[in-house]
């Protein structure tokens, strides 16, 4: 398992809690703790001719000897190379893969495009013979929209539904990527990516300390989602200020979580973001809950996992997603894996296996990006089977800046010291507010790719990747940020 994700859960979890009250986003995936930048990186300008020895000096440290670094820096307009290190070598890119995914989808669709989830019905008020919701893979759909649907039906005088059907036609899709690490898929950042997505297919499990020696109590943010998990609670409340040792492990033969360890009696509640076990059933049970809350009686309900008959059914409502622009921004700024994978699914052809990545390559090849510079297994970067060169990402960034969607694409990236996964990085440095980039972190790997506006030089496109490192992610980020700040100081001499 990638323990880095779990270790950062306390930093991320507040955002996830907000998402479950429908006012915010899922937490950031894994990258986003403030870096401690050595103050001497802010002291002097760097002549363009001195950039190579300056960056080489940053990387020429004993602790980095076994790390594998890849870097490419170019001017944005003239594409003049300023620094290169292993730029044509393959690296595990982590979440910088999202740059490729979102670029392809933005080229393929209008930025105002919305995913529309149709609702069909037969019968007439007050009794419906069938009410059917057909999933289309909208990652933005929340419980409040199901509640609104139930209220609309009540307003129309509906009091009884004979057959409630939700269609989750995900049979041809790989809802859990086979190249993701198994132990990741129990957590919120690696949920199922199916056709019927609700609340980003995630739920909060909170452990609460009790009296000394007693088990921690368990609380779910959504009881409908939480009841899909069985929990073997082997925890204990420890003495005040005792060491934290809580661990969650999944039995992959069943939806069983075994929770062990100790939480001090004076600790705050301990939240974990968990994946929903069965998203289709969660959608159905949630919709049924809101319908019955409005006094509508449901006789039968089921999840259909294929294309079911729609004869004699009329479309009565469409639930619309956020705009493509908003979805791409969330995927890039917040590094949201579910959004990225859902966007990639927009490129699939259900008649052709693995077509979505093939189509991504076709789109980006037509843009001018050489297809042999990258090999993908997912759209989010969670897979360790992805291979991307720094050259691929820098070339993509320079190609996208020439498209009609250049501004939208660039603005979808996090801004240093301002928002998204870079909110707490580059504060009080020369590049604060002047770097727009995509972060990426997996254990042993860190990356940053994007655009920089130096104060005394033309704009730059860059990609920095490090793999095979035994250093903690925070230390790798600090080194990357030192390089970026040097780029911010570049000038002609």
Q: Which residue, of 262, 296, 321, is where some domain finishes?
A: 321
Residues ≥6 apart with Cβ < 8 Å to 178: none
At residue 351 the predicted structure's pLDDT band, cuts being 50, 70 and 90, is low
CATH number, domain at 482? 3.40.710.10
The crossing angle, in degrees rounded to 10, of helices 324-333 and 97-108 is: 170
In DSSP notation, 314-362 reads EEEEEEE---HHHHHHHHHHS--HHHHHHHHHTT--TTSTTHHHHHHHH
Q: Is 75 left (phi over 0), alpha (psi -120 to 50) or beta?
A: beta
What pLDDT was estimated at residue 353? Answer: 61
The H-or-E segment that residue 147 falls in is helix 143-155
Closest CA to 104 of 350, 352, 361, 339: 361
* Beta carbons of 131 and 328 less than 8 angstroms apart: no
Across the range 207-229, mean pLDDT stands at: 96
Residue 62 scores a pLDDT above 50: yes
**270/286 same-domain check:** yes
What pLDDT was estimated at residue 172? Answer: 59
Tokens of 384: 């360790």
Among 17-21, 63-67, 272-276, the least confident range: 17-21
Q: pLDDT tens, 361-379?
A: 999 999 999 999 999 999 9
**403/392 same-domain check:** yes
Among 38-42, 186-190, 426-430, 484-488, the least confident range: 38-42
**54/158 same-domain check:** no
The rounded distance, in Å, linking the Cα atoms of 422 and 333 is 8
**226/304 same-domain check:** yes
Q: pLDDT tens, 71-95?
A: 999 999 989 999 999 999 999 999 9
Residue whose entry in the numeric block shows the structure tokens 């997603």: 321
What pLDDT was estimated at residue 308? Answer: 65
Name the average pLDDT for the chain. 90
The rounded distance, in Å, linking the Cα atoms of 165 and 162 is 10
Among 11-25, 71-85, 276-290, the least confident range: 11-25
Residue 490 scores a pLDDT above 50: yes
**219/130 same-domain check:** yes
What pLDDT was estimated at residue 37? Answer: 52
Q: pLDDT tens, 150-168?
A: 999 999 999 999 999 999 9
Percent of the chain that is helix, strand, coil (3-state, to 5) = 35, 25, 40
* Beta carbons of 436 and 64 less than 8 angstroms apart: no
- For the beta carbon of residue 172, count every other beta carbon within 10 angstroms: 13
Q: Which residue, of 298, 321, 344, is where some domain finishes?
A: 321
CATH number, domain at 293? 3.50.80.20
What pLDDT was estimated at residue 14? Answer: 41
* Beta carbons of 229 and 259 less than 8 angstroms apart: no
**165/222 same-domain check:** yes
Residue 68 scores a pLDDT above 70: yes
**45/1 same-domain check:** no
Coil, strand or helix at 144 = helix
**144/81 same-domain check:** no
Q: What are the distances in angstroms from CA 359 to CA 27, 172, 269, 348, 393?
A: 29, 16, 45, 7, 18
**143/265 same-domain check:** yes
Q: Which residue, of 292, 321, 350, is where some domain finishes?
A: 321
Among 169-178, 264-273, 287-296, the least confident range: 169-178
Q: pLDDT tens, 230-263?
A: 999 999 999 999 999 999 998 888 899 999 999 9
Sheet holding 297-304, edge to edge: 297-304, 160-167, 127-134, 116-124, 314-320
Range of the domain at 107: 31-112+325-491
**358/453 same-domain check:** yes
**143/205 same-domain check:** yes
Strand partners, 232: 258
What pLDDT was estimated at residue 260? Answer: 97
Q: How many domains does the chain have?
A: 2
Kindly report the pTM of this predicted structure.
0.91
**137/259 same-domain check:** yes
């Amino acid at each position: 398992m990638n323990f880095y994700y779990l270790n950062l859960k306390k930093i991320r979890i507040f955002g996830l809690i907000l998402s479950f009250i429908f006012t915010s986003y899922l937490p950031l995936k894994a990258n986003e703790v403030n870096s401690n930048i050595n103050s001497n990186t802010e002291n002097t300008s760097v002549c363009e001719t001195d950039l190579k020895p300056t960056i080489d000096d940053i990387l020429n440290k004993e602790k980095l000897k076994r790390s594998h670094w890849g870097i490419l820096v170019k001017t944005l307009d003239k594409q003049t190379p300023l620094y290169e290190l292993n730029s044509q070598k393959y690296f595990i890119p982590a979440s910088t893969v999202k740059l490729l995914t979102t670029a392809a989808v933005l080229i393929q669709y209008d930025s105002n495009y919305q995913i529309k989830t149709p609702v069909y019905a037969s019968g007439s008020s007050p009794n419906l013979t069938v009410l059917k919701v057909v999933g289309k893979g909208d990652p933005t759909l929340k419980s409040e929209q199901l509640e609104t649907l139930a209220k609309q039906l009540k307003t129309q005088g509906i009091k009884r539904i004979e057959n409630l059907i939700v269609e989750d036609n995900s049979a041809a899709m790989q809802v859990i990527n086979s190249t993701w690490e198994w132990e990741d898929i129990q957590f919120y950042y690696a949920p199922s990516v199916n056709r019927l997505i609700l609340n980003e297919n995630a739920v909060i499990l909170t452990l609460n300390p009790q009296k000394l020696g007693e088990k921690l109590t368990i609380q779910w943010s959504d009881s409908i989602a939480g009841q899909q998990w069985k929990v073997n609670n082997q925890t204990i409340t420890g003495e005040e200020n005792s060491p934290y040792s809580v661990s969650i492990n999944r039995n992959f033969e069943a939806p069983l979580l075994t929770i062990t360890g100790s939480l001090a009696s004076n600790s705050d509640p301990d939240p974990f973001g968990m994946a929903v076990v069965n998203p289709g059933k969660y959608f159905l049970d949630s919709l049924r809950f809101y319908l019955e809350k409005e006094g509508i009686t449901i006789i039968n309900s089921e999840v259909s996992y294929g294309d079911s008959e729609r004869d004699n059914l009329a479309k009565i409502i469409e639930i619309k997603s956020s705009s493509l622009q908003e979805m791409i921004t969330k995927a890039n700024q917040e590094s949201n894996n579910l959004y990225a994978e859902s966007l990639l699914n927009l490129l699939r052809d259900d008649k052709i296996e693995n077509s979505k990545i093939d189509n991504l390559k076709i789109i980006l090849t037509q843009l001018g990006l050489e297809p042999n510079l990258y090999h993908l297994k997912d759209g989010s970067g969670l897979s360790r089977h992805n291979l991307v060169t720094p050259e691929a990402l820098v070339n993509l960034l320079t190609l996208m800046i020439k498209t009609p969607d250049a501004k939208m694409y660039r603005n979808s990236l996090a801004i240093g010291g301002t928002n998204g996964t870079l909110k707490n990085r580059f504060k009080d440095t020369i590049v604060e507010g002047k770097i727009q980039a995509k972060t990426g972190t997996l254990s042993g790997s860190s990356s940053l790719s994007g655009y920089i506006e130096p104060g005394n030089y033309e704009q730059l496109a860059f990609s920095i990747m490090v793999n095979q490192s035994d250093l903690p992610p925070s230390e790798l980020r600090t080194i990357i940020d030192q390089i970026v700040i040097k780029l911010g100081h570049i000038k002609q001499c």
